[in-house]
Each structure stands twice: as structure tokens, then as C-alpha cells.
Amino acid sequence: MHGKSLALDRLMMMAGIIALGSIWGLLECALGGIKLEIAGLPVSMGAVMAGLFGIGFMVLARKFFDRMGVSLGVALVAGIMRFFAPVGSCVICSAIAIMVEGLIFELILNRKMVLWNIRGIERDYRTLVFTGVISGFTIFSIGYILTQLLTPLFTEGILLPLSDLWGILPLIFGRAFYAALLGGVSLPAAMFVDRLHLDVNRWKKGVFYSVSGAISIFCWVMVLAVIF
């Protein structure tokens, strides 16, 4: 019975990861290509998506399931969805960036102080804001850099010269400002999910599978509608 229960818990976790990743992926497909300006200055939607939705959904995954790797799993699902949706100027760039952001955030999220603030009843929100700012800046900037290196490697079999990469670092770090700013909001905001009493462990499995399945199917149908 214990083995069967463990298998069901893993299935619930997988269903939740797919649902959260599908929502993030759909938002990337729907909003990622939008051109946005504030006071005449262009805003990087990639930075907005990473800092606001990326961090938000990855934190929620860890809150709901509290297992190492769930945040990365959400990013992998979102990246796969983004890869198949022909929206924006560089589809493979966006897909790689999302997956890399998930890997980097997973490393940050597993630090003891971060986990303590996420799991605990009493939290230091200043630490959460600071962690969100650092996370947003880090996942976007490193994700952007690795995307610039990996995209030509996957598409053309060549590696971007480091001299070319060095020249765009100021642009990358400038755009990362938006990811840092929004990360400082989305990470602590995700903690308020506790007040909604959405403990998935208390859900009936049939209800959980129905809700998560419906969410995932809706998101993928919407993306397929864009593709075809």
C-alpha cells in the first residue's frame, strides 16, 4: 500500500508540474512577443516573463510539492510548449532561455535560507524580496548569455565568438533590471498562497487530476490553435 501511495503522489506531482508549466508556457506564447515601452524606453518581455511568471510558477511548484527538481520540471514543460509555438522572432532562443532559467533557479531555490523562508510559518519578507531580486537578475542574465551561446550551436553547429558576447553584456544586464524588479515582487507574493489553503496533499486525487488535467489540456489546445 505504501508503494502504491508513493506512486500516486508522484503522479499527482507530475500532473501539477505539467499544469503549472503549461500555464507558464501559454503565457510565454501569448505575451512573449509583445512590444512594450515605458516612457519611450523598450522593455524586454523576456525579462518580464522571467521575473514575474517564471519565478512565480516555479516557486508555486516548490510550495505545493516541496521536492527538489519540481521547479526545473515546470520550466522544462514551459520551454517545450514554447518551442512548438511559432510566436516571436526566435522560438528556439526563448525555449532554451526558459529551460536554462529553470535550472539556475532550481540551484538558487535549494539554498537553506531560501527554503526556510518558503516552508516556514514565520518568514523574513525582506530576505524573500532580496532573493527575488537576485534570482530575477541572475536567471535572466545568465539565461540570456547561455542562450546566445547555445542557440547558434544547436541551429548552425557553431559557437558564438566570446568577443561578440562581450559586446552585448551591457544590453543583457540592462534588460535584467526588469527581471530583478519583478522577481522582488513575485517571489514574496507567491508566499500568500498559504492564505488560500491550497494544500494539494488534502485534495481528493480525483479532483486534483480533473483540475490539473483540464488546465493542461486547455493550455495545449490554445497553443495548438496558434500552430495550426
- In this predicted structure, what is the pLDDT of residue 3? 46
Please give the C-alpha separations between residue 149 and each of 87, 160, 174, 228, in angstroms, as whole numbers.
21, 5, 19, 31
How many residues are there in the chain?
A: 228
Residue written as cell 529551460? 99
Res 121: pLDDT: 67
User: pLDDT tens digits for the chain (228 residues)?
Assistant: 444 444 558 888 999 999 999 999 999 888 877 777 776 777 788 899 999 999 999 999 998 888 999 999 999 999 999 888 766 557 788 889 999 999 999 999 988 888 888 876 678 888 899 999 999 999 999 999 988 888 877 777 676 677 777 888 888 998 899 999 999 999 999 888 777 766 777 778 888 899 999 999 999 998 888 766
225-228, Cβ contacts within 8 angstroms, sequence gap of 24 or more: 226/29, 226/85, 226/86, 226/87, 227/84, 227/85, 227/86
Closest CA relative to residue 55, chosen from 173, 184, 200: 184
What grid cell was written down for 228?
Answer: 495550426
